[in-house]
Amino acid sequence: MEKIPAWQTATLCGIIAWIIMSSILDFTKKIRYFFQPFVTRHVISGIPFILQIQKFQHKLLDALFSGLSCVVSVPFYTAFLPLLFWSGHGRLARQMTLLMAFCDYIGNCIKDVVSAPRPSCPPVRRLTATKDEEENAQEYGLPSSHTLNTVCLSGYLLCYVLSYNVSTDGPGALVGIATACLIVGLIALGRIYLGMHSVIDVIVGFVLGLGILAFWLNVHEHVDSFVTSGQSVTTFWAALSFLLCFAYPTPEFPTPSYDYHTAFNGVAFGIIAGVQQTYHQFHHEDVARIFTPELTTPAFIGRMFVGIPTILLVKYCSKALAKWTLPVALTTMGLPIRSTSYVPTLNTSPTDKKSDTKKQPSGFLHRFFFSANDDCFDVDTGIRFFQYAGLAWSVVDLVPSLFSRLNL
């Protein structure tokens, strides 16, 4: 049996200690009590500025900013990152996936801890052009996740390109920096124009993004070395993913933020578990990269036609398998279970739905296991985690194996 390094044990024990202390001392409510009134005042005082921005309302601006919000959304990255893996830039794809998961967790934790409102609608006009935007509007406002994610991922991508392509200096570097700044600026302005965020949300998202980016640029090489060649990586990450479900804070009212975290938590675990198994086969630094004779454009298009349907099928099968096995396993263990959306037979009846809190666990220690209404295991969290873990695993393990067999 492989020995677990001491630092991994210390990390997990530290998280457990934090969970216990946070639950006993109720840190979330104390932090919220301090920050929520301050942020709310700034959101309210910033409404006149939003209305000034929205005076320039035009169909072209509606389309531009709505399109940009989709381009930097979580569904976009979920589709973009697999293509990055399959293009031969495995190291960049791994780091952007883990950075995205880290940003998602930190940003959503802050949203639900502070529980600050979005700008009131009306008087602000809120434009939600997609179902994803409608769900985003149900989250709390501070910080702006779109701004935070754009700062981190565009900044990291720029640093990667500049370091990978040593000939990119002088004017080329300036163009890259200007492009990244333009994208961040348009995203930030768009969140205000669409009525999704106030100025303070965007500012905090920008500052927090810079802080996370600076931190990640200092640790990304150590993280990648651990993921590709560390000890007990899969075991450690499985335990870490499990504990992060406990450590997630409880918002003042239910939001979809925890669902987003669970999904990307599963994605991170699936990527790491898959890379650990197949790094020396498909993800080392000498693999064929796109726009080279070893991986031509037609071959990459062939990878897309094979890979995308495969990962969607695996996602569907993972969800179906989890919906069948988790309830059976938990029932066998004697745990009471329920489902808020995935398993209709386990849904509570309408008379039992006393409030909209049915989807939100009631505290730190109940976040993963129990719902707010009763002491039942809400299997949707586990189903969602395994669904996205299966999808991510297929991106880095199953699909590259198919490419190898099909000579793509």
Residues labelled as active-site residues: 146, 197
Local structure of 74: helix, strand or coil: helix
Q: What distance in Å separates the CA atoms of residue 57 and residue 290, rounded to the nearest whole number?
A: 41
Identity at 183, one-letter amino acid code: I
Of the candidates 331, 249, 277, 344, the one whose C-alpha atom is nearest the C-alpha of residue 23 is: 249
**In whole angstroms, what is the distance from residue 185 CA to residue 390 CA?**
35
Report the C-alpha gap between 226 and 103 in whole angstroms. 19
Listed in sequence order, the residues at least 6 apart from 74 whose beta carbon sits closer than 8 Å to its beta carbon are 104, 132, 260, 263, 264
Angle at the Cα of 93 from the Cα atoms of 88 and 99, rounded to 5 degrees? 170
Alpha carbon of residue 162 to chain centroid: 25
Tell me which DSSP letter residue 375 carries: S
Which of 283, 237, 230, 268 has its CA nearest to residue 99? 268
| Alpha-carbon span 164 to 291, nearest angstrom | 15
The 3-state DSSP class for residue 290 equals strand
- Which residue, 191, 236, 198, 57, is CA-closest to 114? 198
Distance of alpha carbon 335 from alpha carbon 349, whole angstroms:
20
DSSP state of 46: T
Which residues lie across from 378 on neighbouring strands? 338
- Cβ(391)–Cβ(271) under 8 Å? no
